[in-house]
Amino acid sequence: MRQTFREALQSGKFVVTSEIGPPKGTNVESMLHHIDLLKDRIDGMNVTDNQSSVMRYPSVGGTLYIQERGGEPILQMTCRDRNRLALQADILFAYSRGIRNILCLTGDAVPVGDHKEAKGVFDLDSVQLLRTIRTMETGKDLGGNDLDGAVEFCAGAIVTPEANPIEPQMIKFEKKVKAGAEFIQTQAIYDLENFKRFMEVARKFDVKILAGIILLTSHRMAIYMNKNVPGVFVPQDLIDEMEAAPKGTKVAKGIEIAGRMIRRLKEEKICDGVHIMAIGKEEAVPDILDAAGL
């Protein structure tokens, strides 16, 4: 039997997770291809939940496919689109179908997505969602009513190590751990010295930290992220390295950089693993793993 994600986290090995983006529509062919490509090489596969507030095939649907095909799914759940009744109902459903890992997120704001006039729900926040799972594990729902059949999950959350200011984020990080987060995936990190400083604080908490890795595909992408993606900071030397790579070898350079970073994170035991977000370049994830020697 394959190892569960919780077992992988507790084994002390360097854990690797990645992400599957569900389709805009019912054509799941490419999602299934990505699942098959990665399922035997990594410890867990996240399925994003209407990522960037763009309406897509549901994350729970994606996790069921991963389950069927022999992978280890991690269900991403945001608080943006469902109130506490709907969230709890989906948690019951996921558990009943064998899903055992959940990543709790607040969710991006509605106006950044493709249904700009929709109502943002945010009945619960990410800390409260973590607590909800822990409450449901005791056989009760949020209303204090008995559940006929409880749940049990390996639950996690996220943090942004490069956030400015960092202190309010760290208070929330601590609240997430206290609320029952067993693992934390970080926003993309590129500056390992900054990340080490974050880890000095994070290490004090009983939680596994998976460093976020986003594949760079051009120096323009790095500049764009620095300007537009909150909490992402690509240092100038990496931007220069991407720019210097000859045309046609940019993605290969990005893979090399990602592999190099992962190798260092692992060799220097800086954190407990990585979470690779390929964002449309899932095909490159096996190459990143090869480059990292994993």
Partner 1 sequence: MKSITRAKPMESVLNGLAGYDRVFIAGCGTCATMCRTGGVNEVAAMRKALEEAGKLVTGTLVIPTACDTLTHECMEQNREAMEDAQVVLVMSCAFGVQTVAGYAGRPVQPALDTLFFGLETEPGHFAEVCMQCGDCVLARTAGICPVTACHKGLLNGPCGGTNNGKCEIDSSIDCAWTLIYNRLKEIGRLDLMHAYCEPKNFQAMAKPGHIDISAEGGESR
Q: Residue 279 interacts with partner 1 (CB under 8 A)?
A: no
| 34, amino acid identity | H
Sign of dihedral through CA atoms 46, 286, 28, 215? positive
Residue closer to partner 1, measured from CB, 9 or 110: 110
Q: Where are the alpha helices (DSSP H) in 188-231?
A: 192-202, 219-228
Contact call for residue 15 and partner 1 (CB under 8 A): no
Block residue for tokens 């900071």: 233
Residue 288 touching partner 1 (CB under 8 A):
no
Site string for partner 1, 149-168 (x = CB under 8 A): ---------xxx--xxx-xx
Query: By C-alpha distance, which of 227, 155, 154, 161 is closest to 192?
Result: 161
Unique residue bearing structure tokens 């991407």: 242
For position 171 contacting partner 1 by CB under 8 A, the verdict is: yes
Rule CB under 8 A: which of 103-132 touch partner 1? 106-109, 111-112, 120, 122-128, 131
> Among 270, 211, 208, 278, which residue's Cα sits nearest to residue 5?
208
- Is residue 218 a contact residue for partner 1 (CB under 8 A)? no
How far is residue 216's CA from residue 10's CA, in Å, rounded to a whole number? 30
CB of 144 to partner 1, least distance (A): 12
CA distance 208 to 9: 7
Write the interaction track for partner 1 spanning residues 65-84; mark x where CB under 8 A is met and - where it is not: ---------------x---x
The nearest distance, CB 87 to partner 1, in angstroms, is: 11
Residue 43 or 182 with smaller CB distance to partner 1: 182
Task: Report if residue 55 touches partner 1, rule: CB under 8 A.
Answer: no
Q: Quick one: which of 10, 80, 15, 24 has its CA closest to 45?
A: 15
> Pick from 6, 82, 100, 172: which binds partner 1 (CB under 8 A)?
172
- C-alpha–C-alpha distance, residues 185 and 179, integer Å: 16
Peptide bond into 165 cis (omega under 30): yes
Instruction: Please give the structure tokens belonging to residue 142.
Output: 């949020």
283 binds partner 1 (CB under 8 A): no
In the region spanning residues 227 to 266, those forming contacts with partner 1, defined by CB under 8 A, are 230-231
Alpha carbon distance 215, 260 (integer Å): 12
Q: Between 80 and 219, whose beta carbon lies closer to partner 1?
A: 80
Which residues contact partner 1 by CB under 8 A?
80, 84, 106-109, 111-112, 120, 122-128, 131, 142, 158-160, 163-165, 167-169, 171-172, 174-175, 178-179, 187, 230-231
